[in-house]
A = this chain, B = another copy of it.
Amino acid sequence: MTTTTPRKPRKAPRQARAKATVEAILEATAHILVDEGVERLSTNRVAQVAGVSIGSLYQYFPNKEALVLALLERHVSKMLGLLSKHATELIGAPMEDAVTSYVRVVLETHQIAPRLHHVLTLQAIDLDLSALADWEAQARKMVQGYLETRRDDIVPDDLEMAAFVLVHSVEAVVHRAIIKEDDVAAIPWDRLEKELKALILRYLLSETPG
């Protein structure tokens, strides 16, 4: 299942006009992905929706995958931006603040573009795109790094495992919460945040009772 298909953009747009074209193409891609579904994503349709000729599309993207990849990379880069913005807050912060900060970052990353996030996530797996895996690795590394600074206060021994459990628990719960609601506005973000903080803090700080 290893592909040798090129996925990188063909050439960077130099003129302003070209930049607008690329922008229109990516927006159209996102639009179709979110509102019409992957199965409707075809290069022809993207070009049509973008109001651009199919030839122009192929000037900048070698194939359909490259469109999705470009979109994914933009998205992940925004996610990583949020992560690194808050990363400094964590260092040396008391446990509760650090956890609050982390949960909020995850909630925020999912609010950048919730429906696009969902679709891109699936595509990343289907197309074997690593950008998202990079994000996860980054998050795990950061969490594990923090846990190591608090090793003495923490119950779990295996910090790698602990980071793995935490990152994916939080990620999954948030993700499902968003998918569950058709209307993103309806999600009880505050309660979700509270609950996730409880989940994490108890896992890290309490001995198993009983």
Contact = CB atoms under 8 A, between A and B. Distances in A.
A199 B169 contact: yes
A79 interface: no
Contact of A164 (B155, B173, B201): B173
Interface in A8-63: 36-39
Contact of A195 (B1, B161, B206): B161
A74 interface: no
Contact of A208 (B158, B198, B208): B198
A125 interface: yes
A161 B191 contact: yes
A203 interface: yes
Nearest to A39: B126
A1 B1 CA distance: 27
A164 B191 contact: no
B210 A201 contact: yes
A162 B209 contact: no
A162 B206 contact: no
Q: Count the copies.
A: 4
Given A126-B38, A172-B172, A176-B168, A203 B198 contact: yes
Contacts of A95: 210
A165 interface: yes
Contact of A202 (B37, B126, B203): B203
B199 A1 contact: no
Interface string A158-195: 10011011001101110011000000000000011001
Nearest to A40: B1
Interface of A: 1, 36-39, 95-96, 122, 125-126, 155-156, 158, 161-162, 164-165, 168-169, 171-173, 176-177, 191-192, 195-199, 201-203, 205-210
Enumerate the 5 nearest inter-chain pairs by beta-carbon distance, A residue then B residue, closest first: A172-B172, A206-B206, A169-B169, A202-B202, A1-B37
